[in-house]
Amino acid sequence: MHIYVDADACPVIRIVENIARKYNIETTLICDTNHMLTSDYSDVVTVSAGADAVDFKLVNLCTRDDIVVTQDYGVAAMALSKGAYAIHQSGKWYTTDNIDQMLMQRHITKCAKRASSKNHIKRHKKRSNEDNIHFAESFEKLVLLAQTKKG
């Protein structure tokens, strides 16, 4: 098992690394040249800043039973199709049961935004400590599930 993180602007990198270290799981952070990262635990892979370059690299690297951390539904869908586990930075698990609905909702939302003559800027609420706690609990449960099913 290996953990891959879509690390461009990912707010949970340190949480992932702390849990990975606890269970001695190799971890790779993948970012583009606009988000240079360093880590004392994870391998860092930097790709060019092209459209979806990080996404393609992550999907090419992950294999069955790996864990992928991403907020991109498309990346999650491709990781699931390879037999990997996938989790959003909110702590929500992507599964074969929910990914189609999530992709469809994203498509509908994009279509609605294009059709609207008003383009409002959607402000995301600031990440709270409770958000981090929820992610950490959910991520650790996923790690334990993946280890149990693998071994």
- Summarize the confidence of residues 105-116 as an average pLDDT: 68
H or E segment to which residue 91 belongs: none
Average of per-residue pLDDT values in the chain: 89
Is the pLDDT confidence value at 66 over 80? yes
Is the pLDDT confidence value at 107 over 60? no
pLDDT in tens, 13-46: 999 999 999 999 999 999 999 988 999 999 999 9
Least confident stretch, 66-70, 79-83, 117-121, 122-126: 117-121
CB-based contact 57:79 (threshold 8 Å)? no
Q: What are residue 144's DSSP bridge partners?
A: none
Q: Which residues contact 6 (CB under 8 A, 6 or more apart)?
A: 30, 54, 55, 58, 68, 69, 70, 71, 72, 75
Per-residue confidence (pLDDT) for residue 119, from 0 to 100:
58
Q: What is the pTM of this model?
A: 0.87
pLDDT band at 118 (very low <50, low <70, confident <90, very high): low
Higher-scoring residue by pLDDT: 126, 122: 126
